[in-house]
């Protein structure tokens, strides 16, 4: 198992799958700048070892319109493949955060988590602020998160509550967040500030969920606050 991502080709391929999520072999070859034949060979070998899996349609994210003929299969890392690839980098991150906690205390870990979340705020805010409505803002946030390896999707709100479901199908720091929930808390706080509405976290990969799921309210915070005050006064 230790050798499966040892070659440069497979290492790069795994990085792209982790970053882009479900993707066809031809699109993956284009992203990597190598031949589709080489990509398919790597994918076949990795599929036999349960490191990747293929689907007729993408299990999440936007799907391309169907054309003529048999649709191209899309590939994604399995949990086994994702864990192996991520663990190479997360073990160092876990050690670093543990060092901070042991030498400087829990407050230093929280400060570090907030600092990381502030970087997200600064990085995403310019593009998100250009969006005029909350649906567009969440879509831009999902696209930005996907570029950073979170494989995020956004489902527009429906029904009486009009909430939007923001899902992160991958978490590059999941194993760190398992031990230090401050990172999940800081990320959620950043989402609230970026979108300017109430965001509620339903599940996280760090706490055992298959995906990180957040419900995004389409009502401004002041509207929610006014409704709550009215309810409490009755």
Taking only the tens place, the pLDDT of each residue in 183-194 is: 999 999 999 999
Give the residue extent of every domain in the chain.
8-77, 116-233
Q: Which CATH architecture has domain 116-233?
A: 2-Layer Sandwich (3.30)
pLDDT in tens, 119-175: 999 999 999 999 989 999 999 999 999 888 888 989 876 555 678 999 998 888 888
Residue 66: both structure tokens together: 């169907």
pLDDT in tens, 51-84: 888 877 655 444 444 455 456 788 888 877 777 6
Closest CA to 90 of 149, 31, 46: 149
CATH of domain 8-77: 1.10.10.10
User: Hey, which bits of 17-156 come out as E strands?
Assistant: 23-24, 52-55, 74-77, 152-155
- Which residues have a Cβ under 8 Å from the Cβ of 96 and sit 6 or more positions away? none
Q: What is the pTM of this model?
A: 0.66
Dihedral of the alpha carbons of 205, 25, 139, 144, in degrees to the nearest 10: 70
Tokens 């907030």, located at residue: 114
């Amino acid at each position: 198992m230790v050798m499966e991502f040892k070659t440069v080709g497979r290492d790069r391929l795994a990085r792209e799958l982790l970053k882009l999520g479900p993707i066809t072999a031809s699109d993956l070859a284009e992203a990597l700048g190598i031949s589709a034949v080489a990509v398919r060979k790597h994918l076949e070998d990795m599929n036999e070892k349960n490191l990747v899996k293929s689907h007729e349609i993408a299990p999440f994210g936007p799907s391309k319109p169907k054309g003529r003929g048999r649709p191209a299969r899309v590939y994604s890392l399995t949990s086994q493949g994702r864990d192996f690839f991520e663990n190479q980098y997360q073990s160092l991150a876990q050690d670093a955060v543990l060092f901070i906690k042991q030498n400087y205390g829990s407050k230093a870990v929280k400060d570090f988590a907030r600092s990381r979340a502030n970087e997200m705020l600064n990085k995403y805010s310019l593009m998100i602020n250009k969006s005029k409505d909350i649906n567009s803002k969440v879509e831009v946030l999902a696209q930005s998160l996907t570029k950073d390896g979170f494989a995020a999707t956004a489902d527009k709100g429906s029904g009486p509550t009009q909430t939007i479901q923001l899902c992160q199908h991958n978490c590059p720091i999941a194993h760190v967040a398992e031990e230090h929930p401050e990172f999940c808390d800081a990320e959620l706080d950043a989402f609230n500030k970026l979108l300017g509405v109430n965001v509620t976290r339903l599940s996280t990969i760090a706490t055992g969920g298959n995906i990180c799921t957040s419900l995004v309210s389409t009502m401004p915070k002041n509207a929610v606050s006014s409704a709550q005050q009215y309810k409490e006064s009755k």
